[in-house]
Amino acid sequence: MALDGLVVRSIAHELNTKLVGGKIDRVHQPENDEILLYVRNNRENFKVVLSSSSSNPRVYIANKYNKENPLKAPMFCMLLRKHLQGGIITDITQVGFERIIKISIESYDELKDKSTKNIYVEIMGRHSNIILTHDKDSTIIDSIKRVPPSVSRARQILPAMTYELPPAQDKIDPVKGCSLKSFINTLREFDGSVFKGIYSKFLGISPTVAKEICYRAEIDFNVKAEDLSRDDLSQLYRTFSDIFTKVKNNEFSPCIVVNEKVDKVVDFNCIDLTFYEGFKFIHDESISKIVALMLAILDNGEEYVFSKVGMEPTGDPFNSITKLETSREKKPYNPLINAGAIAVSSMIKGKDARDKFERLLDFFKKISEDETLDVNYKIYCGESETENRNRAMGYFLKGEGIIEGNVEDALDIYFKQCSIEVTAKTLAKIGLFLANNGKLSTGETVITPKIATIVKTLMVTCGMYDSSGEFAVRAGIPSKSGVGGGILSVVPGKMGIGVYGPSLDKKGNSIAGVALLEDLSTELNLTIF
């Protein structure tokens, strides 16, 4: 499993989306080679881990982090606190297509002058490092691992020296583009198998991605390029170009490959690894709130449900607590934000939490016509252990009488429903169900046309978080977005649409998904207005 250039680019893009504009509240160094940044942005708290471990270097946002800090902070940690604590993250980028992430922070020095510092996280095996520099002249302030001449004559990393990138590799950058002629000549000049040629001659590509390119092009991994026809090489080039066009546009599809027989992660990447046949694939995606809403109305009636939950958009982020406290009625503005969905979960009928969720899952399977749906329990455990904001909402709603039963039962149902694994096809089938006013493909009516209308109306007004109004104008398709990157859309009387694109905008909607739906609406005249 390799943290290659593709994965590093996807990480940098995600961090940029979530953290730019955020304030660094605290800096810790729990390990000799690991930094933990506490970042506050858009009313959310993030734990950002920077690791220069020789065996497992990485950069990620931690859902759960339990390492204890030493009683006395190391010198590098104290230095980072001096320069970065209280600073604002202004940019996060990948350097070239290398395994290097650059984090820029604007802060005030001792003289109250504003300046920018850069953190370079070099993810390069035993050469991994975390380096702090001045942005103005690239002078190194210090690094988590100092590299004197006795360690490396080629490249030293020491205070007061000028930061220079590692020596450039004699490889082609696939993001910058490569012509068909250059691609073919490069591979034919390589003395070895075609997949080895791909990862040896092109920057940022791991053997895993090279195999995936060959597999999609229906080319044998081990054949030499010189033994392939021009048509075969052209097909390989088209596959190669298609993948890197999406990478260039920050269109990623993060996946984890699991061997269920031994319950072991086999591989991961930011693109689908389709050459792993017979293995389970995990995509972090769930759109469930509208399904729970339909069942809650069936169980309790429209009047009861909307006495507890409103029908209006909030204009605030989907996980905001502010409107709960400030609204006159002290109830969630609509059922498609987190607070509203938790309230709806409490209305599902059943003898206990397990029975209630089983009813919800069975309903999910029925309207999607997919009996294979189930909970990803790893995601569920992460949700239930770390979602303190949602738990706070639940207890607030209990205190206001919105939740009448056991609040932990409601939260458990909510966390599980958010962990149901679905595909774009699943979303499309649910969309078709709503497009047909609550009828299955068999003709069976599951919900009334009125309930279907309520759901579709709420999707228009509230389904795309606080971009719902703009999306309604541009696309005019009732839709529900999820922060996993999926969008469920309904074209009444015609079709359901399911799209997936993991890169999100600042409001939590899939960038590629929104663009695709807007284009489809224009080309096929799908707007309901």
Give the catalytic positions in this structure: 286, 289, 414, 465, 483
Distance from C-alpha of 384 to C-alpha of 390, rounded to nearest angstrom: 9
Q: What is the 3-state secondary structure (H, E, C) of 117-165?
A: EEEEEECCHHHCEEEEEECCCCEEEEECCCECCCCCCCCCECCCCECCC
Residue 428's DSSP bridge partners are none
CB 171 within 8 A of CB 202: yes
What does residue 301 show for φ and ψ, rounded to 5 degrees? Answer: 90, 150
Q: Which of 244, 187, 251 is nearest to 213 (CA)?
A: 244
Residue 102's DSSP bridge partners are 93, 120
Distance from C-alpha of 58 to C-alpha of 63, rounded to nearest angstrom: 15
**340 contacts: CB under 8 Å, gap ≥ 6:** 289, 309, 310, 332, 333, 334
CB 57 within 8 A of CB 130: no
Angle at 488 between CA 278 and CA 299, to 5 degrees: 100
Letter for the amino acid at 448? T
Reduced to 3 states (helix: H, G, I; strand: E, B; else coil), residue 190 is: coil
For the chain, the C-alpha Rg in angstroms (whole number) is 25
**449 contacts: CB under 8 Å, gap ≥ 6:** 437, 438
Which is it for the CA torsion 275, 277, 282, 287, positive or negative? Answer: positive
Contacts 24+ apart (CB under 8 A), 12-17: 12/92, 12/93, 12/94, 12/101, 13/250, 13/252, 13/503, 14/61, 14/503, 15/48, 15/59, 15/61, 15/92, 15/101, 15/103, 16/91, 16/92, 16/93, 17/503, 17/504, 17/505, 17/506
Q: Which of 42, 10, 16 is nearest to 507 (CA)?
A: 42
Distance from C-alpha of 161 to C-alpha of 342, rounded to nearest angstrom: 54
Q: Which of 406, 408, 490 is nearest to 454 (CA)?
A: 490
Distance from C-alpha of 462 to C-alpha of 477, rounded to nearest angstrom: 12
Q: How distant is the alpha carbon of residue 414 from its chain centre? A: 20
What does residue 176 show for φ and ψ, rounded to 5 degrees? Answer: -75, -15
Encoding tokens for residue 405?
Answer: 């039963």
Reduced to 3 states (helix: H, G, I; strand: E, B; else coil), residue 212 is: helix
CB 493 within 8 A of CB 433: no
